[in-house]
Structure 1
Amino acid sequence: MSVEPAVATDRGADRPPVGWAEARARVYAAGRADAVAPVDVPLVEADGLTLAEPLTTLTDLPAFPTSSVDGWAVRGDGPWRVVGRVLAGGTPPPLTEDGTTVEIATGAMLPAGANEVLRIEESTRTADGRVAGTPRTGPEWRAPGEEAYAGEELLPAGSPVGPGVVGLAASCGYDRLRVHPAPRAAVLVFGDELLTAGPPEAGRVRDSLGPAVPAWLRRYGATVAPAAVIGPVADTLPAHVAALRQALAGVDLICTTGGTMHGPVDHLHPALAELGAEYVVNTVAVRPGFPMLLARVTGPDGRKRYVAGLPGNPQSAVVALVSLVAPLLAGLQGRPMPLLPYVTLAEPIAGRGDYTHLALVRIDPVLGTATPVRHVGSAMLRGLAQADGFAVIEPGGNGEAGTRVPVVPLPLLSGVRS
Structure 2
Amino acid sequence: MSDRREFRDLAAPEEARAVVESLDISPGTETVALADARDRVLAERVDAALDVPGFDRASMDGYAVRARDTFGADEATPTTLDLARTVHAGEEPCVTVEPGTAAEISTGAVMPAGADAVVVVERTAETADGVEIRTAVTPGENVMPAGADIAAGARALGPGTRVTPREIGLLSALGVEEVAVRSRPRVGIVSTGDELVRPGEPLNSAAGEIYDVNSYALAAAVEDAGGEPAVYPHAGDDFEALETLLHEAADECDLVLSSGSTSAGAVDVVYRVIEERGDLRLHGVAVKPGKPMLVGTIGESAYVGLPGYPVSALTIFRVFVAPALREAAGLPEPRTATVTGEMAVEERYAEGRLRYMPVGLVEDGAGSTLVYPVDKGSGATTSLVDADGTVAVEPGTERLPAGERVEVTLFSPDVRVPTLFGVGEDDPLWSRLLDRLDAPRYLPTGTADGRRRLRESVPDVAVVAGPEADDEPGEALGGWTREWGLAVAPDSDVSDLAALVDGAARFVNRDGGSGLRHSLDAQLTQLADERGVSPGEVTDAIDGYDLTVGASESPARTVAAGEADAGLALRTMAASLGLQFVPLGTERVRVLANPDRTGKESVERLAGLLGDLGDLAAGLDGFEV
Which residue is 2:45 aligned to?
A: 54
Q: Following TM superposition, by how much is the alpha carbon of 1:289 offset from its aligned partner in structure 2, in angstroms?
A: 0.9
Match of 2:183 among 169, 181, 184: 181
Q: Following TM superposition, by how much is the alpha carbon of 1:73 offset from its aligned partner in structure 2, in angstroms?
A: 1.3
Which residue is 1:383 aligned to?
A: none
Q: Structure 1 pair 89/23, CA: closer, same or farther in 2 (3 Å)?
A: farther
Structure 1 SS opposite 2:323: helix
CA distance in 2, matches of 1:244, 1:134: 78
Which residue is 1:206 aligned to?
A: 211
Q: Structure 1 pair 297/143, CA: closer, same or farther in 2 (3 Å)?
A: farther
Match of 2:233 among 220, 230, 233: 230
- Is 1:69 the equivalent of 2:69? no
CA distance in 2, matches of 1:271, 1:135: 83
Structure 1 SS opposite 2:103: strand
Aligned residues: 324
CA distance in 1, matches of 2:89, 2:178: 25
Aligned ranges for residues 77-92 of structure 1 at < 5 Å?
A: 77=70, 78-88=79-89, 92=93
- Does the 8 Å CA contact 2:6/2:264 hold for their aligned counterparts? no
- Is 1:318 the equivalent of 2:314? yes
Which residue is 1:309 aligned to?
A: 305
Q: Following TM superposition, by how much is the alpha carbon of 1:14 offset from its aligned partner in structure 2, in angstroms?
A: 6.1
Q: Structure 1 pair 85/127, CA: closer, same or farther in 2 (3 Å)?
A: closer
Cα deviation, 1:8-55, whole Å, max 9, x if unaligned, reads xxx9956540424x5445534545xx4222111111111121111233
Cα deviation, 1:174-223, whole Å, max 9, x if unaligned, reads 11111113333332110112243548444333332123221222222223
Structure 2 SS opposite 1:246: helix
Aligned ranges for residues 111-190 of structure 1 at < 5 Å?
A: 111=112, 113-120=114-121, 123-130=124-131, 132-134=133-135, 139-190=141-192
Structure 2 SS opposite 1:186: strand
Aligned ranges for residues 347-386 of structure 1 at < 5 Å?
A: none
Q: Following TM superposition, by how much is the alpha carbon of 1:306 offset from its aligned partner in structure 2, in angstroms?
A: 2.6
Which residue is 2:250 aligned to?
A: 248
- Does the 8 Å CA contact 2:222/2:228 hold for their aligned counterparts? yes
Q: Following TM superposition, by how much is the alpha carbon of 1:98 offset from its aligned partner in structure 2, in angstroms?
A: 3.0
CA distance in 1, matches of 2:265, 2:337: 38
- Does the 8 Å CA contact 1:261/1:291 hold for their aligned counterparts? yes
CA distance in 2, matches of 1:42, 1:316: 38
Cα deviation, 1:251-290, whole Å, max 9, x if unaligned, reads 33322111122211111122123443453x5433322113
CA distance in 1, matches of 2:255, 2:45: 26
- Does the 8 Å CA contact 1:23/1:324 hold for their aligned counterparts? yes
Q: Structure 1 pair 329/193, CA: closer, same or farther in 2 (3 Å)?
A: same
- Does the 8 Å CA contact 2:85/2:95 hold for their aligned counterparts? no
CA distance in 1, matches of 2:237, 2:164: 42
* Bigger proportion of residues as helix: 2
AA in 2 matched with 1:69: M
- Does the 8 Å CA contact 2:41/2:329 hold for their aligned counterparts? yes
Match of 2:11 among 7, 12, 17: 17
Structure 2 SS opposite 1:102: strand
Unaligned stretches of 5+ residues in structure 2: 71-78, 339-411, 416-625
Q: Following TM superposition, by how much is the alpha carbon of 1:235 offset from its aligned partner in structure 2, in angstroms?
A: 0.7
CA distance in 1, matches of 2:291, 2:212: 21
- Does the 8 Å CA contact 1:28/1:330 hold for their aligned counterparts? no
Superposition RMSD in Å: 3.5
Cα deviation, 1:331-381, whole Å, max 9, x if unaligned, reads 221334x266699xxxxxxxxxxxxxxxxxxxxxxxxxxxxxxxxxxxxxx
Aligned ranges for residues 26-65 of structure 1 at < 5 Å?
A: 26-28=19-21, 30-31=23-24, 34-65=25-56
CA distance in 2, matches of 1:152, 1:26: 41
How many percent identity over aligned positions?
Answer: 32
- Does the 8 Å CA contact 1:278/1:296 hold for their aligned counterparts? yes
CA distance in 1, matches of 2:245, 2:254: 15
Structure 1 SS opposite 2:312: helix
Structure 1 SS opposite 2:80: coil
- Does the 8 Å CA contact 2:259/2:308 hold for their aligned counterparts? yes
AA in 2 matched with 1:179: V
- Does the 8 Å CA contact 1:258/1:311 hold for their aligned counterparts? yes
AA in 1 matched with 2:217: A
Match of 1:215 among 212, 220, 223: 220
CA distance in 2, matches of 1:201, 1:69: 75
AA in 2 matched with 1:224: P
Unaligned stretches of 5+ residues in structure 1: 1-10, 299-303, 344-410
AA in 2 matched with 1:116: A
Q: Structure 1 pair 102/317, CA: closer, same or farther in 2 (3 Å)?
A: same
Structure 2 SS opposite 1:325: helix
- Does the 8 Å CA contact 1:116/1:135 hold for their aligned counterparts? no
AA in 1 matched with 2:38: D
- Does the 8 Å CA contact 1:182/1:223 hold for their aligned counterparts? yes
CA distance in 1, matches of 2:261, 2:151: 56
CA distance in 2, matches of 1:24, 1:79: 76
AA in 2 matched with 1:293: L
Q: Structure 1 pair 134/194, CA: closer, same or farther in 2 (3 Å)?
A: same
Q: Structure 1 pair 275/69, CA: closer, same or farther in 2 (3 Å)?
A: farther
Which residue is 1:348 aligned to?
A: none
Q: Following TM superposition, by how much is the alpha carbon of 1:169 offset from its aligned partner in structure 2, in angstroms?
A: 1.0
Aligned ranges for residues 399-410 of structure 1 at < 5 Å?
A: none
Which residue is 1:276 aligned to?
A: 278
* Higher RCO (C-alpha under 8 Å, 6+ residues apart): 1
Structure 2 SS opposite 1:51: coil
Q: Following TM superposition, by how much is the alpha carbon of 1:87 offset from its aligned partner in structure 2, in angstroms?
A: 4.1
CA distance in 2, matches of 1:277, 1:101: 79
Rg (Cα) greater in structure? 2
Q: Structure 1 pair 106/201, CA: closer, same or farther in 2 (3 Å)?
A: farther
- Does the 8 Å CA contact 1:191/1:235 hold for their aligned counterparts? yes
Please report the TM-score for the alignment, with normalisation by the length of structure 2.
0.46
